[in-house]
Structure 1
Amino acid sequence: MNTLLLGDPSASLRWRAAVELEGAANDDDDVMAWQGEIAASPAVQSLLGRLAGAERPQDAGYLLCQLAYLGYRGPELATAVEAIFSHQQPDGSWPLRLDDRPAGKPSDGPRFITMQTVVPLRGIATAGFATDPRAERGYEWLLRERLHDGSWPSGPKADLGGPGRPPPPEKQYRRLTRGDGCRSATTGAVACLALHPQRNRSDAARIGVGHLLDREIRDESTLGWEVSRLVGLERAMGQITFYVAVDPAFLLDLASRCGAATDDRRVHALVTWLESRRGPYGLWQHPTHPQLSRWLTFDLESSLRRMRGVSLPVDPG
């Protein structure tokens, strides 16, 4: 199976498969050659052009996720991170919209929507800046906004009367199975925690993953949905609904990064279901974009490899 990945036309996939699945050294001749191909590839150059013109921290944050997923590690990432930090509010969050207010002063608009912080924070973390003190302020904001059960709300909006007035129950289509929070917001928050070298094994991360694992329905049509967005074949869009689709591959990725192990019955059920969908030659077929089957296979193999080396159970929440 790895041979098929190493023979893929994408230098990004060849590089990641060699380094992350085969353990190739950074000074390997092929690895260095593929890094050069990645930097010059049309996909990366297009993303860099969009990153240079991105004004919203949320747009820039996800572009950083895409570039990192393709294996790009150039200096533009650090520049973009600094630009995102320039819009951070004193409490560690990011504003709902950019306006003419002086930098560093809170907006007079809605108090927050969780997604407006988790998308730029995930980008900052995936670019390698999760432990920057300013990023840590963002993580602390996330922890303060958790609900009593360890899930995250979508966030109160301006038409609800402002700060101090409790938000209504989350809409049914994005409500957690056994939690009070929003599935989309909780997915985004866990995605940020999963990329932090210490917080990824925290109670907050494990409880958050536990809430996501409690949904036992498997949507085969959304398998690899996040991969398709990261490589640019699907648009990354939505405010409250940025993570509205339940992607079993993305859920396994988050679980594997946050200390989940296959002796957790929910993880075992997820892995069993995924293995039952593995096709000929060890590959998983992407339900919408057949050309992404090798990317999806790499993503799932990486998650399974991380999980095999972990013995910590997921907190059931």
Structure 2
Amino acid sequence: MNLGTLLLGDPSPSLRWRGARELEGATDDDAEVIAWRTEIDRSAEIGVLVDRLETAQPYAAGYLLCQLAHLGCRGPAMAAAVEKIFGGQQPDGSWSIPPTGSPGPIEGARFITMHTVVPLRGIAAAGFATDPRAERAYEWLLGVRLQDGSWPAGPKADLGEEGRPTPPEKEYRRLARGLGCRSATTGAVACLALHPERRRSDVARIGVDHLLARETRDASTLGWEVSRLVGLERAMGQVTFYATHDLAFLLDLASRCGVSAQDRRVHDLVDYLETLRGPYGLWQHPAHPQLAGWLSLDLDNSLRRLEDGDWIGDEEPTSSMSSPRSPRRY
């Protein structure tokens, strides 16, 4: 029994719909696809997210759009939310979360990269990546890159002050081989990966190259991003929004940016993931067994995209970047 057939029996109409279209090649005029489409549009799960979207500020709205897109929402509420997010965009193309008690955005050079990354990824997920206002945000991302092609968390994020050098990134989220922040670089690449042209640009691939340099194999965080998109884990944090090292998300980004399955690091990662595949070809989520279908769809799509990859990076392998433990007090 193939994966697509297994997913057609899942309780979630969103997963059945996506499985049919993405794995079985079903078209929008298929009777079952139409029925599942109706279920999705009327589902309480979608209704709750849309209600939250109506009052959310750009940062929260950005990830709500990612969740809705992941679940197959196609309603007008998404376009309305995108317009609202654009309404809070700054002239340079970025976004900033106002400080507590302040009605306006943060001004000046002090920024947090994630304040722009999260809204932009939501806009792209909703299908507006090529809107001129979104393109301005992408150009802003390109403008704040470090000289090695990675992204900083931002001077504000590390308590830097204008006119003073930006402190080095905190070790727990520092890239294995790079100057930037792994969380910020992951978020920036996630935005680029959803753009029809920029996803296979050198900018995106250099970002992926930095992320693939960390070759730790932690099964306990596999599918972390999927669990947030489906709503079983909270999407929280600013600088640390993408701090969790999720191998499934890493493979998703690499495959969207055109990395080849022949890249040594990707090849080794796929080999490792195959050792985790369970009966009937499913991957089990380490914390939420009910997400086996969602995680398997995500990984299967990544493996399919790798077949069209044509780029091989040149980063050398590196050891784990685990944070040092504090000395025992007793």
1:146-295 aligned within 5 A: 146-157=145-156, 160=159, 162-295=161-294
Letter in 1 for 2:132: P
2:16 is aligned with 1:14: yes
What do residues 180-239 of structure 1 show as CA deviations (whole Å, max 9, x unaligned)? 100000000000000000000001100000100000101111000000000000000001
What do residues 45-88 of structure 1 show as CA deviations (whole Å, max 9, x unaligned)? 1100110121x211000000000000111111000000000000
Q: Distance in 2 between matches of 1:248 and 1:155?
A: 25
CA contact (8 A) 2:152 2:184 kept: yes
Letter in 2 for 1:256: S
SS in 1 for 2:164: coil
Partner of 1:90: 91
Could you state the TM-score of these two structures normalised by the residue count of structure 2?
A: 0.91
CA contact (8 A) 1:96 1:110 kept: no
2:95 is aligned with 1:76: no
Q: Distance in 2 between matches of 1:6 and 1:161?
A: 51
Letter in 2 for 1:100: P
Partner of 1:34: 36
Q: What's the CA shift for 1:22?
A: 1.2
2:99 is aligned with 1:100: no
SS in 1 for 2:126: helix
CA contact (8 A) 1:260 1:312 kept: yes
2:68 is aligned with 1:67: yes
Partner of 1:307: 306
What is the number of residues matched between the two proteins? 312
SS in 1 for 2:84: helix
Q: CA RMSD in A?
A: 1.5
Could you state the TM-score of these two structures normalised by the residue count of structure 1?
A: 0.95
CA contact (8 A) 1:58 1:120 kept: yes
CA contact (8 A) 1:109 1:158 kept: no
Partner of 1:52: 54
CA contact (8 A) 1:25 1:31 kept: yes
Q: Distance in 2 between matches of 1:39 and 1:292?
A: 21
Letter in 2 for 1:38: I
- Change in Cα spacing, 1:160 to 1:67, as seen in structure 2 (3 Å) is closer
- Change in Cα spacing, 1:159 to 1:259, as seen in structure 2 (3 Å) is closer
